[in-house]
Structure 1
Amino acid sequence: MSRLIVVSNRIAPPEEKKSGAGGLAVGILGALKAAGGLWFGWSGEIGDEQAPLKKHSHDNITWASFDLSEENYERYYCQFSNEVLWPAFHYRLDLVKYQRESWEGYQRVNALLAEKLRPLLKPDDIIWVHDYHLLPFGHELRKRGVTNRMGFFLHIPFPTPEIFNALPPSDALLEQLCDYDLLGFQTETDRVAFLECVASQTRLSTDSEACHSAWGKYFRSAVYPIGIEPDEIAEQAAEALPPKLAELKKELGSIRNIFSVERLDYSKGLPERFLAFESLLENYPQHRGKIRYTQIAPTSRGDVQAYQDIRHQLETEAGRINGKYGQLGWTPLYYLNQHFDRRLLMKIYRYADVGLVTPLRDGMNLVAKEYVAAQNPENPGVLVLSQFAGAAQELTSALIVNPYDRDDVASALHRALTMPLTERLSRHSEMLDVVRRNDINCWQQTFLRDLKAIAPRTEASQLRDKVATFPKLA
């Protein structure tokens, strides 16, 4: 049986499952347990790159990682990944800080990863690579003679040609991506954007089965919306609240709760969300004194200026809104710039009358799906969801809004706060069916099934001139 090799920027050590690892880690671990194999990536530490790999094995899974030098960490991770690719892929060209040195560092680390993984590979291993940090990784493995089946999954959006082609190395990145056998995206919008980018740079041939040819390379593309573990989340959400939260819930009484949780990032639309809440208080004064909006936004990449700016902006806006609308005994907006345990968040979701998820651009946004799974099925809350989150293409029974239109979001919040139980039950039931059907296990099983259906390079090379050598996916 073929081993599964998972490659990601960071790896999740086995002990993280005990401390509440996220859904992605759970899904990858499930795939690794089923097939046996290796999880490979950067350790997250700064150190000696030439030191032996750090390895840990448990049952049929091995975790292998290595440290990065200070310079490579800065160039590859801080600069190119987070100051070029992340803003560009989230449609924020104004925040891109491209430097040739960071591009060279990004390529250098991907080559280093390939160099370190190559000796660990066996001929029939299947390789699954994750996210924007590793766009050139498959290309680097091919350069080293690796013919194994390789799939790549992009967790964030893929921008349109007008955005992507503004990056100086756009042509190189696209050609490198075509060295993967299967390219997976969160939504059809992202998949089409990628193909349009390729077609803008070179001749792209596509057949009826989504088999493509570009730069003399053959690959497939498909959509795999990532999911969650709904049953586990429902179980956690139904657990008793900790004493302090239970007391707080009792004190709030009939106060209706609007709840959001995101990491502090400019792609999440947090300032726009605060202004939409202000519009709710302004346009629908009947809610004053009767609702509370809680925004949890732990610091993310705090050493980057753009993130420092948004934190200051949120603190300022929260103080201004509370000063304008607050009353004795009532504070309308609670902004918490701190981390909360994921298990605790599931319990908080359950008691939120409205889940407010309005990113300006997001690959999927699992918070939306977690909120749905955590609800009491007999008395569910209402999800207000941005049209620019990948989840909006699945959770069509949410109240879909344009996050740039504060009055549109305010109107949806008013509707959510006044929605009758029968409509809430219907909308929740429809969304929960989707969340259950497209869970995290479905995501990883479908991707790996499709990747295994593709002939290894050693077999396909005899018929390189025919895209049809790639068998039809199930």
Structure 2
Amino acid sequence: MSGFLQFIIRPPTNSGSLPGNVVCPQRVLKEHTMSGLILVSHNQCQRSTLTAVYEGILSRQGGLWISWDGESKVIPHDASRSYSAQQADQYETVTFSYTPGELNEGYHNYIHKGLWPVFHQRPDMARFSTSGYQEYKNINKAYARAICEHATPDDVIWIQDYHLLGCAAYIREEGLTNSVGIFLHQPFPAGRMFETIPEWRWFTDSLLCCDLIGFQTVQDMNNFLVWLESEFRLERLEAQSFRIHGRIIRVGVFPVGIDLDDVQCLRESNSCAYMEMQCRESLPENTVLSGGHLDESSGLPYRISTLEVLLRRHDCYQKNITLLQLAPPAAGHAHDASELGHALEALCGELNGVHGTMNWYPVNYLTHAYSREEQAGIYRASRVALVTPLMAGMSLMAKMYVALQDPKNPGVLILSQFAGAAEQMEGAIIVNPYDPDAMASAVHRALQMPLHERRSLHARLMKGLHMHNSHHWAGSFLRMISAEPAVPEVLPPPAFYPRLSSSRARY
């Protein structure tokens, strides 16, 4: 029996303290009374579409939000970690700092240079270390301690993403029997790619301590189930549940949506209006927005090649198009940002040198970060959005672009077939992000699209955004985890879920 599977097989005993260097802090909140939801995420201080989603959910639902505060502090070995509690309008927050080792080895190295490439189908770029793994565990222990200190028996604990894959195991080790769910915002790797993580067994054991495991897409869920059955003998129950060692675990697909109230606030802000005006005055009418962090999954070089193909094919775009390339560095990634940045700068410089003139250049390459309000203005001023990551769990940028458009004169969304959003955004032009020729054709089609067709596509997209907004996402997940699991007779694997050879099944 491996690792934390022992907690699946028999009830855990309360050991009184978590292993590692996290010492029980003085309780900062005796109990939270707003709701039975504890939302656990890696960062609530970084302003992003996703943090706005969390804020909107908690403002409506109430509850407790536990997260890192974005800071790094030296914590003496014999001192307790400091947890800071604050009261928001409708919910409470508990935050804490990472140690320098947790930030550098656990967060930047193990998470971003190890786990991130594997989850984005690039295990060849992954870099793992024993020290990084230890600090990653320390991060998860710190979260588990905060959860254990503030959870009441009826709370639902909702863990967010691969930063906290080990958290459920530590919660169960402390004896908590609460409903625990985890949602993976990143794509789940196909085949046996998950096993390229040296500690994959530990991660699997911890995942199986959850009651519900949520995914962005059907493909992600199937990747997980097919892989899991190749490693463990599962008793399939409903299409979305299985039993392992007497414990029922459910899985589900919950595509994350955006908060449309948040979009309305952005649209009405002065910064948005000013940035939109600046863009419209200084950029050509045919402005193509290309956004994404400066990381290995963004596919930014292919977008530069797309513009080069477009300019060669169509003379009408000479001096009448700009690819507005926004590429702020990601918060840690498999390769040095400067290496990626230099490569992209070289491509942009070459294209501008060949096709540009004294007073016009086709690529406007910007690496500094804009506020969310300023981004909204840029989105509104762009005729086309080229959102073509090589791999993405969802791509909330695509949804934000659509939601921010003027319905009377909307822009057109071009979306990668390998973004999770492509599974649900009917009305986008879907492309292969590795094919600049096909993407150039899509950009030309989008720029030449008549107004009535643009309005029709936008209306279809907005219908989907309203149906599957952030509150629908949270509500569907919380309803499923709160419902009693049905236990029907055992079902055979469905057609889409091929049974692999049982020779590798482990018990």
TM-score (norm: length of structure 2): 0.84
Deviation at 1:358, TM superposition (A): 0.3
Deviation at 1:209, TM superposition (A): 4.3
CA distance in 2, matches of 1:351, 1:98: 42
Give yes or no for contact 1:267–1:361 (8 Å, CA) kept in 2. Answer: yes
CA distance in 2, matches of 1:193, 1:268: 22
CA distance in 2, matches of 1:248, 1:102: 43
After superposition, what is the alpha-carbon deviation per residue over 1:292-329, rounded to whole angstroms, capped at 9, x for unaligned? Answer: 11011112236864322111111111111100100232
Give yes or no for contact 1:155–1:364 (8 Å, CA) kept in 2. Answer: yes
Aligned: 1:438 with 2:438:
no
Aligned: 1:8 with 2:41:
yes
Give yes or no for contact 1:56–1:63 (8 Å, CA) kept in 2. Answer: yes
Give yes or no for contact 1:175–1:215 (8 Å, CA) kept in 2. Answer: no
Equivalent residue for 1:23, pick from 16, 32, 49: 49
After superposition, what is the alpha-carbon deviation per residue over 1:259-302, rounded to whole angstroms, capped at 9, x for unaligned? Answer: 12222221111111111111111222332221111011112236
Specify whether residues 138 and 294 from structure 1 end up closer, same or farther in structure 2 by C-alpha distance, changes over 3 A only.
same
CA distance in 2, matches of 1:357, 1:135: 28
Q: Which moved more, 1:149-158 or 1:41-50?
A: 41-50
The 3-state SS of whatever aligns with 2:202 is helix
Equivalent residue for 1:249, pick from 269, 276, 280: 280
The 3-state SS of whatever aligns with 1:51 is coil
Match of residue 472 from structure 1: none
- Structure number with greater CO (CA < 8 Å, separation at least 6) is 2
CA distance in 1, matches of 2:402, 2:252: 26
Give yes or no for contact 2:269–2:373 (8 Å, CA) kept in 1. Answer: no
Give yes or no for contact 2:63–2:91 (8 Å, CA) kept in 1. Answer: yes
Give yes or no for contact 2:52–2:262 (8 Å, CA) kept in 1. Answer: no
Give yes or no for contact 1:237–1:348 (8 Å, CA) kept in 2. Answer: no
After superposition, what is the alpha-carbon deviation per residue over 1:178-211, rounded to whole angstroms, capped at 9, x for unaligned? Answer: 1111111111111111112211211122222411
After superposition, what is the alpha-carbon deviation per residue over 1:55-95, rounded to whole angstroms, capped at 9, x for unaligned? Answer: 11234522112222222222321221111110110011121
Give the superposed CA RMSD.
2.4
Equivalent residue for 2:205, pick from 172, 175, 191: 175
Match of residue 430 from structure 2: 400
After superposition, what is the alpha-carbon deviation per residue over 1:156-180, rounded to whole angstroms, capped at 9, x for unaligned? Answer: 1111123212222222212210111
Match of residue 79 from structure 1: 109
The 3-state SS of whatever aligns with 1:5 is strand
Report the residue type matching 1:51 in the other structure: R
Equivalent residue for 1:124, pick from 154, 162, 165: 154
Report the residue type matching 1:25 in the other structure: T
Match of residue 411 from structure 2: 381
Q: Which moved more, 1:404-413 or 1:168-177?
A: 168-177
Report the residue type matching 1:5 in the other structure: I
Specify whether residues 433 and 163 from structure 1 end up closer, same or farther in structure 2 by C-alpha distance, changes over 3 A only.
same
Equivalent residue for 2:309, pick from 268, 279, 282: 279
Specify whether residues 108 and 247 from structure 1 end up closer, same or farther in structure 2 by C-alpha distance, changes over 3 A only.
closer
CA distance in 2, matches of 1:232, 1:137: 30
Equivalent residue for 1:300, pick from 330, 352, 355: 330
CA distance in 2, matches of 1:157, 1:43: 26
Aligned: 1:145 with 2:175:
yes
Deviation at 1:131, TM superposition (A): 0.6
Equivalent residue for 1:36, pick from 57, 62, 65: 62
Report the residue type matching 2:280 in the other structure: K
Deviation at 1:399, TM superposition (A): 1.0
Which blocks of at least 5 consecutive residues in structure 2 are unaligned? 1-32, 492-507
Deviation at 1:215, TM superposition (A): 4.9
Percent identity for Structure 1 against Structure 2: 36
The 3-state SS of whatever aligns with 1:160 is coil
Give yes or no for contact 1:234–1:375 (8 Å, CA) kept in 2. Answer: no
Specify whether residues 98 and 329 from structure 1 end up closer, same or farther in structure 2 by C-alpha distance, changes over 3 A only.
same
After superposition, what is the alpha-carbon deviation per residue over 1:304-356, rounded to whole angstroms, capped at 9, x for unaligned? Answer: 64322111111111111100100232111100001111112212212211111
Give yes or no for contact 1:179–1:217 (8 Å, CA) kept in 2. Answer: no
Deviation at 1:445, TM superposition (A): 1.5
Deviation at 1:388, TM superposition (A): 0.4
The 3-state SS of whatever aligns with 1:10 is coil
CA distance in 1, matches of 2:221, 2:357: 49
CA distance in 2, matches of 1:210, 1:182: 10
Report the residue type matching 1:442 in the other structure: H
Q: Which moved more, 1:261-270 or 1:183-192?
A: 261-270
Specify whether residues 231 and 147 from structure 1 end up closer, same or farther in structure 2 by C-alpha distance, changes over 3 A only.
closer
Give yes or no for contact 1:48–1:67 (8 Å, CA) kept in 2. Answer: no
CA distance in 2, matches of 1:397, 1:148: 41
CA distance in 1, matches of 2:448, 2:60: 46
Equivalent residue for 2:340, pick from 307, 310, 316: 310
Q: Which moved more, 1:74-83 or 1:363-372?
A: 74-83
The 3-state SS of whatever aligns with 1:264 is coil
Specify whether residues 214 and 75 from structure 1 end up closer, same or farther in structure 2 by C-alpha distance, changes over 3 A only.
farther
Specify whether residues 53 and 237 from structure 1 end up closer, same or farther in structure 2 by C-alpha distance, changes over 3 A only.
closer
Match of residue 247 from structure 2: 217
Specify whether residues 379 and 173 from structure 1 end up closer, same or farther in structure 2 by C-alpha distance, changes over 3 A only.
same
Deviation at 1:234, TM superposition (A): 4.9
Deviation at 1:244, TM superposition (A): 7.0
Report the residue type matching 1:246 in the other structure: M
Deviation at 1:139, TM superposition (A): 1.1
Deviation at 1:367, TM superposition (A): 0.7
CA distance in 1, matches of 2:261, 2:90: 26
Specify whether residues 364 and 126 from structure 1 end up closer, same or farther in structure 2 by C-alpha distance, changes over 3 A only.
same
Give yes or no for contact 2:112–2:332 (8 Å, CA) kept in 1. Answer: no
Match of residue 471 from structure 1: none
Specify whether residues 275 and 9 from structure 1 end up closer, same or farther in structure 2 by C-alpha distance, changes over 3 A only.
same
Specify whether residues 239 and 52 from structure 1 end up closer, same or farther in structure 2 by C-alpha distance, changes over 3 A only.
closer
Report the residue type matching 2:281 in the other structure: K
Specify whether residues 119 and 387 from structure 1 end up closer, same or farther in structure 2 by C-alpha distance, changes over 3 A only.
same
Which blocks of at least 5 consecutive residues in structure 1 are unaligned? 469-474
Q: Which moved more, 1:39-48 or 1:299-308?
A: 299-308
Specify whether residues 378 and 204 from structure 1 end up closer, same or farther in structure 2 by C-alpha distance, changes over 3 A only.
same
Structure holding more helix per residue: 1
CA distance in 1, matches of 2:275, 2:458: 29
